[in-house]
Amino acid sequence: MTPPSSTALPFLPFARPDIGEAEITAVTEALRSGWVTTGPMAKKFETAFTNYLGGGLHSVAVNSATAGLHLALEALGIGPGDEVIAPTLTFTATVEVVRYLGADAVLVDVDPVTLNMDPAGVRAAISPRTKAIMPVHYGGLACDMDAILAIAHEHGLKVVEDAAHALPTTWRGALVGQLASDVTVFSFYANKTITTGEGGMAVTRDETLAQRMRVMRLHGMNRDAFDRFTSKTPAWYYEVVAPGFKYNMTDVAAAMGVVQLARLPQFVQRRETLAQRYHAALATLPLVLPATAPAGDQHAWHLYVVRLTSEARIGRDDLIQGLADRGIGTSVHYVPLHRHPYWRDRYGLTPGQFPTADAAYLAMVSLPLFTAMSDADQDRVIAALHALLGG
């Protein structure tokens, strides 16, 4: 084994945004245009996003997916006394927004193969207070949306998809964003499949929900700044119709988003190739490899999460350390919510209530997967895994 040394290869991060000259030019132009806050670029990005998903939708650009999830639940009227069902194996943002509104999150376990929210768990978690379900397409693989939408329909529940990992993901041939849920929210955080630095998009078919989210993303004002400076009604006049938020996306961010979205088809291809290379190269190791999409469907491959089997000769923490010693960054998605003090203590949660998510957490590592990584970068990860886990 080669000991780590200062002459080792450069550190390979777990993720890195793929920003090219086109993004830099677009951002520079936005800066030179004199309009840096929400304006023509944000509108252009929203239109391009709707077109990408196939039309017939309203896209509402916001400054984070967290903001979009908050706006979605607010527009749906979620409030104190309500319950919202979500998986425990997610980022805290999925459910912190439930608490912003004074409602409560009810966490459920995940499926052992897909690591997506288990529909049977959702069904079991429904109470008279339940108002909504928040599926998370873990890693970029679609949840069983037929089952979730059927449960929602049966019980009169709203569905807000946390699609932070799911651009582009399909379920039975339809892109996530086009499904029959109420609102779908995408993230453009730095490590997501496209990035605006920080940003998000809330997508809905419902004009009334879209209108509410547009008003609430900007202080509850019924006119945004761009409209005020371009329309014939006096620029100074607006009306506040609710105590809204400050969640609008800047034109600087949107300029980046327009370029990133145009590059998405190439990004997906590269992610797909990298995922297939991992599958082929890691098949003989004591690892559970991530589930692939059903035939004909697209996995966004935001994450490539492997789980050590009980045959592995080292544990998860040692695997992470071994990779770090070889200059390879990894991550863990996620420390499940039931293990975080806030969620654990508020709801009195124990690992025993979430056996699948908990076992997955203890065995999992997210391997480097980003479009700008080379085959040689990936071969380093593969070789390191074979050195640490191979026979």
Ligand X SMILES: *Cc1c(COP(=O)(O)O)cnc(C)c1O
Given the rule CB under 6 A, which residues bind ligand X? 64-66, 90-91, 93-94, 136, 162, 164-165, 187, 189, 200
Q: Considering Cα of 295, then 300, then 301, then 303, what sign does the dihedral take?
A: negative
Q: Which residues contact 280 (CB under 8 A, 6 or more apart)?
A: none
Q: In the bound complex, what is the minimum distance in angstroms from residue 333's beta carbon to ligand X?
A: 8
Q: How many CB atoms sit inside 10 A of residue 381's CB?
A: 25
State which residue, 57 or 95, has the beta carbon closest to ligand X: 95
Q: Which is nearer to ligand X, 187 or 250 (CB)?
A: 187
Least separation in angstroms between residue 22's CB and ligand X is 22
* 202 alpha-carbon distance from chain centroid: 12
Q: Determine the 3-state secondary structure of 366 from DSSP.
A: strand
- Element (DSSP H or E) covering residue 144: none
Taking the complex as a whole, how short is the minimal distance between the CB of residue 99 and ligand X, in angstroms? 14
Radius of gyration (C-alpha) of the chain in whole angstroms: 22
Residues 6+ apart with CB under 8 A from 32: none
Give the nearer residue to ligand X in terms of CB position, either 61 or 125. 61
Do 302 and 366 meet the contact criterion of CB atoms below 8 Å apart? no
- Using alpha carbons, list the distances in angstroms from residue 125 to 61, 84, 86, 118, 151: 32, 10, 10, 11, 11
Q: How far is the CB of 87 from ligand X (least distance, A)?
A: 9
Nearer to ligand X, 73 or 136 (CB): 136
Q: Could you tell me whether strands 158-162 and 287-288 are parallel, antiparallel, or unpaired per DSSP bridges?
A: unpaired
Characterise 386 by phi-psi region: left (phi > 0), alpha (psi -120 to 50), beta (else): alpha
Task: Examine the residue annotation and report whether 131 is marked as an active-site residue of this protein.
Answer: no
Report in angstroms how near the CB of residue 154 gets to ligand X at its nearest.
Answer: 26
* Catalytic member of 43, 44, 192, 246: 192
Give the nearest distance from C-beta 319 to ligand X in angstroms. Answer: 22
- Name which of 337 and 384 has its Cβ closer to ligand X: 337
**Comparison of 162 and 380: residue with beta carbon closer to ligand X:** 162
CA 22, CA 217: separation in Å to the nearest integer? 28
- Contact, 153 vs 134, CB < 8 A? no
The DSSP letter of residue 268 is H
**Helices in the chain by DSSP H: which ranges?**
21-32, 40-53, 65-75, 93-100, 119-125, 145-155, 207-216, 225-230, 251-282, 316-325, 341-347, 355-363, 375-389
Shortest Cβ 222–ligand X spacing (Å):
26
Helix (H, G, I), strand (E, B), or coil: what is residue 107?
Answer: strand
- Nearest to ligand X of 200, 368 (CB atom): 200
| Catalytic residue set | 192
